[in-house]
A and B are shown apart, each in its own frame.
Chain A
Amino acid sequence: MRYLIISCLLLVVSCASYTKKQQLENQISTEKIIKNPYFSDKNQDYVYKASIEVYSKIFGGLLIIKKIDKGNHRVVFTSEMGKKLFDFSITETNFKVNYILDELNKKLLINLLKTDFKALVQEETAILKSFSKENSQVFQTLILDKKHYYYASNQLDKIIRTGHRKEKVEFLFSDINNNIAKSIIIAHSNIKLQITLKSIN
């Protein structure tokens, strides 16, 4: 009987929502939209030295992001020597592969990159719920039908994507200057994948 109670208890704990587990406090906010300013300037070429660590293998290259128009970004990955590896157009309603190297042309990989880059570059996202935690405001949003939590102090510090009530991906923005995040880390917790970006312009 005792075991039953303990296991029930464990079940309840593990079933607790992300917001409960993170001890986020409900908050009433008048804000309707959360803005990600880091890829919002049409006149800026965002160029990052990128390192992708996947299952302890490391790939390097340059990640180039450009806002073409409102709600329209181009995301291109090249090798250091300039060879294009993939080239995506991401709009509010559409995702287009302009080019991808044959070796990388796998549906699973493209979907993964699509969900990550969509959340990375999306400029305006509707707020569904508001919370607070310590010095941060936390906003629950939905991107591609997946829950994303935006953590903002004086600036947007991180975005957390959750799935099955657990943290799945963390987007960490730091070293921020003039609305450019000089350092960005995209870390997956369910698969061994981490993308590290360092601004070079």
Chain B
Amino acid sequence: MRSVTILCFFFVLNLQAQKPMSTDEANALKNLVKQQAKTTKTITSDFVQYKHMDFLSNDIVTKGNLHFKAPNLVKWAYLEPFVYSVIFKNDQLYINDEGKKSNIDMSSSKLFKQLNGLIINSVKGDMFDAEEFTIEYFKMGGNSLVYFKPKEKKSAAFIEAFHLTFNAKGEVEIVKMIEPSGDYTKIVFSNKVLNNQISDALFNN
């Protein structure tokens, strides 16, 4: 009986464990996500953000919603435990910090352009740029898990890797950004709606 229990335990463990994908499987996922990203004109989604730092007793949990409109409008709005939003638009960052509005010109910042590109691509899931990243593919239950490790030293100095979890439809469910120290920010999306109408006015601060 005990050996059956142990066997079951390993079986369950095995289901949860991530296994490397074959090249065919990886290509199939890449095509699915690229296709999904191409047909995605807008995204509306709730999110929960977990900031993990090893020295803390608990992760810092913040919640809010995200709006994306192709090709490059993004709004992150935090609703709990504080109200704060940031809009990425035309090389500008528009911030609304509990009613206090400001903007930062990012047109001269190459790093910002990279970051903005990364944010948009990670929301859509389309980060399969082999020049920019070393990419590894894994299967995990019915989901796919892909590691993107920046090749460029400057990016690698503050991001060790992005881990993106995709559902069977090729949509991003979890984005995990891991810092070189091992601390990370994990964003879990829920109630995602694709291609509904979003007015441009939503991206005005």
Contacts and interface: CB of A to CB of B under 8 A. Distances in A.
B53 interface: yes
A60 B97 contact: yes
A58 B55 CA distance: 28
Interface in B50-70: 51, 53, 55-58, 60, 62
- Chain A: interface size category: 20 to 34
Interface in B33-58: 49, 51, 53, 55-58
A80 B62 contact: yes
Contacts of B86: 80-81
A114 to B, nearest CB: 19
A62 interface: yes
A60 B56 contact: no
Contact of B84 (A43, A60, A82, A98): A60
Contacts of A83: 158, 185
B82 A74 contact: no
Contact of A66 (B49, B55, B95, B158): B55
Given A60-B95, A78-B51, A201-B81, A45 B58 contact: yes
B156 to A, nearest CB: 14
Interface string A72-98: 001010101111100000000000001
Interface string A136-149: 00000000000000
Interface of A: 43-45, 47, 49, 51, 58, 60, 62, 64, 66, 68, 74, 76, 78, 80-84, 98-99, 101, 198, 200-201
